[in-house]
Amino acid sequence: MKCTVCRGPAIIDLRRHNANFCGDHFLKFCRDQVAKAISQHDMIAPGQRVLVAVSGGKDSLALWDLLVELGYDVEGMTIGLGIGDYSDASTAASVAFAESRGLPLRRIDLRGDYGYDIPTAAAVTRRVPCSSCGTSKRHLIDSAALDGGFDVVATGHNLDDEAAVLLGNVLHWHTAYLGRQAPVLPGRDGFPRKVKPLVRLSERETAAYCVVRGIDYIVDECPMAEGNRHLRYKEALNSIEAASPGTKHAFYFEFLDKAADRFRPEAAEAQEGLRPCATCGSPTTADVCAFCRLVDRVSDADPVPVELLRAGRGRGGNASNRNKNRTKVNR
């Protein structure tokens, strides 16, 4: 297999682009795709300060690396979620990457700074851990961006992520969510501008970018996310993609082009009545925002180690329900 560009030995085949690449031209391909996404969707203007949300995983580290390569003014931020060894290793990967590149990295630790962690929150709230995890990360990154005077927040969402979220929203016809799904969320009162520069790259491509660039990232998955619905949507889409390369790209980008506008009215309606949180000032439809309510409820609760919470527990369900509802996965 030869590189489409230089005819040297190829190390990766991208059927959806009908192209194969050697290492150097694959890296260039990735940079070009990110530059195209930033340009096409007006994500970042020259001279703007970018805060990139970093987890230690392949997407956020690839994103940070790519934004630096493309010449943007970027600072990283990582949050210690307290999910046992997984969080320790994730933070270590983020710190190691930042130090090896001489890049500034802000750090927050949920346990140290707010008196709770995600396993404890899951146990106390009796909701899926992804709920308190998402609430915490979004609030803390948005606040850091606004307090730190950043112009834009960049997250590592890739094509597979966006296509899977879109599939879930379509399957359930969550029309308000459909109206808000976009590569760019404009800044408004209390919300920073948020962009997803990796949307043109698939997960296989962001992983390959890290391997080719020699970026050490956390390969193991979050132990609390086992068997979740989002993953099943990704597998379903990849089954289709394997038979029809290019499907994920068409699904997401044609949605943006041809259908997204139709759902804007529902999305706008769902966001009416936002006002500042009585505790922290962040936008909320309630008196106190979800993050402050969460902290109030779980901080200083007795810590629950993640090892005690297997998938299914802390979800408001029980073990027998968990096994019944799991779809058989083709390994």
Residues in contact with 9: Cβ distance below 8 Å, sequence separation at least 6, in sequence order: 1, 2, 3, 22
Q: Does residue 78 belong to the site contacting another protein (CB under 8 A)? A: no
Contacts with another protein, 116-155, as mask; x by CB under 8 A: ----------------------------------------
Part in contact with another protein (CB under 8 A); list of ranges 41-49, 137-145, 159-167, 314-322: 159-167
Pair of tokens at residue 39:
């340009």
Q: Are the beta carbons of 295 and 114 closer than 8 angstroms? A: yes
Distances (CA, A) of 241 to 16, 230, 250: 8, 16, 11
Q: Does residue 115 belong to the site contacting another protein (CB under 8 A)? A: no
Measured from the CB atom, the residue of 225 and 301 that comes closer to another protein is 225
Q: Which of 225, 260, 270, 280 binds another protein (CB under 8 A)?
A: 225
Q: Does residue 235 belong to the site contacting another protein (CB under 8 A)? A: yes
Q: Are the beta carbons of 55 and 140 closer than 8 angstroms? A: no
| Minimum separation from the CB atom of position 213 to another protein (A) | 11
| Minimum separation from the CB atom of position 238 to another protein (A) | 4
Q: Which of 38, 121, 164, 199 binds another protein (CB under 8 A)?
A: 164
Query: In DSSP terms, which residues pair with 41 in a beta bridge?
Result: none
Q: Are the beta carbons of 64 and 103 closer than 8 angstroms? A: yes
Q: Which of 126, 230, 262, 297 binds another protein (CB under 8 A)?
A: 230
Q: Give dist(CA 170, CA 19) in Å, integer.
A: 31
Helix (H) or strand (E) holding 74: strand 73-80
| Minimum separation from the CB atom of position 164 to another protein (A) | 8
Q: Which among 156, 168, 269, 248 has a CA at the least distance from the CA of 209?
A: 156
Using CB under 8 A as the binding criterion, the count of chain residues that bind another protein stands at 42
Part in contact with another protein (CB under 8 A); list of ranges 170-178, 196-204, 300-308, 316-324: 196-204
Q: Which of 41, 111, 174, 204 binds another protein (CB under 8 A)?
A: 204
Helix, strand, or coil here: 232?
helix
Q: Give dist(CA 228, CA 316) in Å, integer.
A: 14
Helix, strand, or coil here: 233?
helix
Q: Which among 99, 250, 260, 239 has a CA at the least distance from the CA of 176?
A: 260
Part in contact with another protein (CB under 8 A); list of ranges 33-41, 65-73, 107-115, 228-236: 228-236
Residues in contact with 259: Cβ distance below 8 Å, sequence separation at least 6, in sequence order: 178
Residue 269 CB neighbour total at 10 angstroms: 12
Q: Does residue 223 belong to the site contacting another protein (CB under 8 A)? A: yes
Q: Does residue 274 belong to the site contacting another protein (CB under 8 A)? A: no
Pairing of strands 283-284, 275-276: antiparallel
Q: Is 73 exposed, middle or buried (0-12, 13-18, 19+ CB in 10 A)?
A: middle
Q: Which of 227, 281, 283, 317 binds another protein (CB under 8 A)?
A: 227
| Minimum separation from the CB atom of position 271 to another protein (A) | 26
| Minimum separation from the CB atom of position 46 to another protein (A) | 31
Contacts with another protein, 13-52, as mask; x by CB under 8 A: x------x--x-----------------------------
* Residues near another protein, by CB under 8 A: 1, 10-13, 20, 23, 57-59, 160-161, 164, 202-204, 206-208, 211-212, 214, 219-223, 225-228, 230-231, 234-235, 238-239, 241-242, 329-331
